[in-house]
Amino acid sequence: MNRAKTSRSCRRGGRPLRWAVAAGAAAALLGVAQPAQARPTAPAADAHYAADHIGSAMHGTASAFAAQAATPQGVPGLDVSAWEGPVDWSSVAADGAEFAYVKATEGVGYVSDTFDQQYNGSAAAGLLHGAYHFALPDRSDGTTQADYFLSHGGGWSDDGRTLPGVLDIEYNPYGTTCYGLSQSAMVTWVAQFRDEYRARTGRYPMIYAGRTWWTECTGDFTGFASTDPLWTAHYASSVGPLPGGWSNYTIWQYADAGTYPGDQNVFAGSLADLRAFAAGDLASGQGWPTVRQGQSGFQVSGAQYLLNAQGAGLTVDGRLGPATAGAVRAFQNAHGLTADGVVSAATWQPLVS
């Protein structure tokens, strides 16, 4: 295990890695759940901007990777920040990773000094790549932080290789859990960020959040689940309960060390699904799938997200059942298309416009 992985795990759990490994191994052997470790004590200054990373302040996420028996089903990937330093992307690609998320910014005062090497290097190695923003909602409004993120690497383009940006919102590493915001004020802050990102890129950002924090700080708000993909963290053999409104996840961060530098993740779907997710709100219909009633998968979830952006009010469950087929037909009728409930290229084009 390299030094970066060891230090990361120690800082996260607040106890030495040796303890975490022993506890994880014992739990695995005995078949019992591990207790959540306490969050690290918040530092008094902003000196650890470079150490903050996606999941670093998530409450109750013990360093349980030692008990993880196998990689969950899905497309393997990783997330990294300045904590890892320069990454050997050719080795990462050779080990089978298909995507990488890279920390770009934090608040409105930090840009990762390893961003270019990690972001451009992952793309050069053939990985799909994206950027994330570590939110500090007590420093400025959500619109301002979205603009800062977009100005420092957080954009999206329809090149088929770029994943949508991520709003990483979790426990405050510097002070009060919910950054001094009420639940309604936190919901407003998230809405400001996602609306600005959507307005400037044409994509809704993915939201990284854990169930416990989301419940405590937003009241388990359900209003973003119909449009924003979810990235969740749970270091166990199953994904666990999801935050309010989401019935499925797009990315699962299942361990904080393993085969790749940084955190270990899987995308929920096939490699073709991941590529379709990167394409997102396409400017052309090349390669759009045809999905019909009875099918399930990420392409169906994508159609449901887009239908909800048009006011359909569907549960995003990745299954094209009667309710989704009815919403497709209603959309097709409204746009002068053949109302057959099948989402083919002719329907995708107005749906994403």
Q: pLDDT per residue over 332-351, tens digit each?
A: 999 988 899 998 877 887 88
The number of beta carbons lying within 10 Å of the beta carbon of residue 245 is 17
Give the integer Cα–Cα distance in Å for 135 and 57.
11
Give the integer Cα–Cα distance in Å for 306 and 303.
5
- pLDDT attached to residue 318: 85
Max CA distance (Å), the chain:
64
79 counts as catalytic: yes
* Continuous H helices in 205-270: 211-218
> Tokens for 213?
């924090």
Over residues 292-302, the pLDDT tens digits come to 888 887 778 87
- pLDDT attached to residue 353: 59
168 counts as catalytic: yes
- pLDDT attached to residue 352: 65
Cα-based distances in Å from 18 to 21, 133, 234: 5, 31, 20
Among 52, 79, 84, 106, the active-site one is 79
- pLDDT attached to residue 347: 86
264 phi/psi in degrees, rounded to 5: -100, 135
- pLDDT attached to residue 261: 95
Stretches in the chain below the pLDDT threshold 70 = 1-70, 281-289, 352-353
170 counts as catalytic: yes
Among 168, 196, 273, 281, the active-site one is 168
Among 170, 196, 228, 273, the active-site one is 170
